Structures are given as C-alpha cells and as structure tokens.
Structure 1
Amino acid sequence: MAQAKSLTEIEIEQVLKYVSKTRYYKRNRALVLTSFLSGMRVGEIAALKIKDVRNDDGSIKSEIRLTSHQTKGHFGRTVFVNEKLRSELSNFLGDRKTTDSERPLFYTEKSKGFSANTLTQWFFWLYRKAGVSGASSHSGRRTFITNLANKGIGVRVLAKLAGHRSIAVTQVYIDVNSDMMRKAVELV
C-alpha cells in the first residue's frame, strides 16, 4: 500500500481555499489545520473532546494530553499545540455555546462526534473535492513530520512528537524532497 502524500504549501493553501467555501468553514478549517499543525492521527483527532483542548477559563491549552484510549498504540502522549493552531481552535470554539466539556471537539452535521472511519472518509473526499490527488487522512501527519525534518529537527524529536516508539517508523514518514536535497548540498 502506498504511503500518504506529503502536501506542499501550495496544496495546503488549495485545500484551505476550498474549505473556505464549505458550509462548516470554521470546523473544516480547524480539522485540516489540526492535522497539519499537530501531527495527530485521524483517530486521535476524532477522539478529542472539548476538555482536551480548552482550559476552564476558555483559553486553548498549549499541550494536549492524549490518554492511552485515544492513541493507536495505547500509550498516552503529549501533543504540543503551537500558537497558530491555538488561534484556529479558539476561533472555532468561540462559536460553541456548550458548557459540556465532554462533548466531542469535532462533530458531524448531525452533531455527533466523528469516528476514526468517518473522519478518514471526510478527509478523502475533502482532498478529492479540493483537487489534491494522492492525499489521504494521513497526509497531514506525514506533512507535519516532513516539514519539521526539512527544518532540521532531529529524528528522535520527530519520533516523540509523532508518538512513535521507534525512530525507524518515523524515518519512513519523512518525504525526501528537492528542497531538502538542495539545502543538504549547500552544507558541503
């Protein structure tokens, strides 16, 4: 089975431009950017509850603590949330009137939480409709890891951020591209 496509900045902007015209714009934008800016698996995103990302005062947490029930390998981990994603999540949650922090963070049109499978399908159709071929629900995660590797972040740090127990698994995620090779030869 082929690996998920790692998206370029232009393709990410293409997806966000398409999302801006959708009915649930804020939710869809927050979903896409959560994938690209956190590196979480689609099942982890689907498992998020409001309490996982929002503090009692309404601010967005800088660290999301995933429990063993929310992760693929059943090992809890911490996801670090950068300022850009905190801003997007704050914008998205600003419209939510619920005080029930146990509700799913992301929900379907029927106000039910996404399952990992329905969110996988959602991403598949989103990329297809946005005109980005070869992308899947894993593309955000792979792009996250590749972009950080491209900026010189070491594989051990990448493995921790991805929740991998082996750096060999993380290395498979890194998409070597022309920009990376160009930068490498300039170091000689």
Structure 2
Amino acid sequence: MKQAKTLTEKELKQVLTYISLHRHAPRNRAMLLLTHWAGMRVGEVAALRIGDVLNADNSIKSEIRLTPEQTKGRHARTVFIGQRLRKELASYVATLKKPDPDRPLFATQKKAGFTANTMCQYFHWLYKEVGITGASSHSGRRTFITNLANKGVGVRVLMSLAGHRNISTTQAYIDVNDEMQRVAVDLV
C-alpha cells in the first residue's frame, strides 16, 4: 500500500485557505492542524473530548494525555501541543457555545462527535477538493514527522512524539526529499 503524501508548506497553506472559505472553518482548521502540528492520528483527533484540551480556567493545555481507548495501539501517550497550535485550539474553543468537558471536541453538524471513519472521509474529500493527489488522513502525521526530521530532531524523539513502539515504524514515516539530501552533503 502506498504511503500518504507528505505536504509542502505551500500545499498546507492551500488547504488552510480552502478551509477558511467554507463552513465550520475554525473546527476544520483545528482538526487538520492537530494532525500536521501535533502528529495525531485521525482516530485520536476524533476521540478527543473538550476536557482533554481545556484546563479548568479555560486555557488550552500544553499536553494532551490520551487514554489507551483513544489510541491505535491501546497504549496511553502524551501529545505535546506547541504554542501555535494552542492558539489555534483557543480560537476554535472560543466558538463553542458551552464547552462541556465531557462532550466531543469536534462535533458534526448533527451535534454528534466525529468517528474516525467520518473524519478520515472528510480529510480525503478535503485534499481532493484542493487538488492534492496522494494525500490522505495520514498526510498530516507523515508531514509532522518528516518536517521534524528535516529540522534535525532525532529518530528516538520522533518515535516518542508519534507514539510508536518501534523505531523502524517511525523511520518509514520520514519522507526523504531533495532538500534533506542537499543539507546532508553540505555537512561534509
């Protein structure tokens, strides 16, 4: 099976622009950026509750603690949320009428929480609408890991951030590109 496309910064901006021009923009932007800026799986994003990201004082947590039920491998893990993503999540949460900690963070138009499947279908549709071939619901995660690898983050740290249990799994996510190779040969 072919791996999901890793998006360039320009392609991510295209997707975010498309989202901004359509209904539910704050919600859809936050869902997408959790995959691109935190490396979360779509199933993990769909499983989030408002209380997973919101502190008692209504500020955004710097870490999301996923329970085994919220993860693919049924292993609890911590997702670290950077400053940019905390601002995005704060903007989104501000649009919610009553942020009940037990409610799904991302609700559909019918007020129910997204399932992993419906969110996966949304991302597939979104990338298709923008015209990005080969992108899927896993593209954000691959882009996150590849971008950090490009910036010199070690594979053990990447493995931990991704919630992988084997280093070989993480290595398969890293998309080697021409820029990485140029930087590497310049190190000699």
Deviation for aligned residue 1:99? 4.1
DSSP 3-state at the match of 2:149: helix
Separation (CA, whole Å) in 2 of partners of 1:62 and 1:88: 12
- Long gaps (5+) in structure 2: none
Separation (CA, whole Å) in 1 of partners of 2:80 and 2:153: 15
Deviation for aligned residue 1:98? 1.4
Separation (CA, whole Å) in 2 of partners of 1:60 and 1:99: 12
RMSD, matched Cα? 0.6
- Per-residue CA deviation, residues 61-81 of structure 1 (Å, 9 max, x unaligned), is 000000000000000000000
Identity %: 62
Equivalent residue number for residue 150 of structure 2: 150
- Mapped pair 1:52 → 2:52: yes
Matched AA of 1:161: L
Matched AA of 1:82: G
DSSP 3-state at the match of 2:79: strand
DSSP 3-state at the match of 1:79: strand
Separation (CA, whole Å) in 2 of partners of 1:5 and 1:32: 15
Separation (CA, whole Å) in 2 of partners of 1:133 and 1:18: 15
DSSP 3-state at the match of 1:165: coil
Equivalent residue number for residue 72 of structure 2: 72
- Mapped pair 1:19 → 2:9: no
Separation (CA, whole Å) in 2 of partners of 1:116 and 1:95: 22
Q: How many residues align?
A: 188
Instruction: Tell me whether 170-179 or 91-100 shows the greater mean CA deviation.
Output: 91-100
- Per-residue CA deviation, residues 42-75 of structure 1 (Å, 9 max, x unaligned), is 0000000000000010000000000000000000
Deviation for aligned residue 1:97? 2.0
Equivalent residue number for residue 187 of structure 1: 187
Equivalent residue number for residue 8 of structure 2: 8
Separation (CA, whole Å) in 2 of partners of 1:34 and 1:7: 14
1:100-179 paired onto structure 2 within 5 Å: 100-179=100-179
Check conservation: 2:50, 2:99, Cα contact below 8 A. Answer: no
TM-score, normalised by the number of residues in structure 2: 0.99
Deviation for aligned residue 1:129? 0.6
Matched AA of 1:165: R
DSSP 3-state at the match of 2:64: strand
Separation (CA, whole Å) in 1 of partners of 2:53 and 2:22: 24
- List 4+ stretches of structure 1 deviating above 2 A: none
Separation (CA, whole Å) in 2 of partners of 1:64 and 1:163: 13
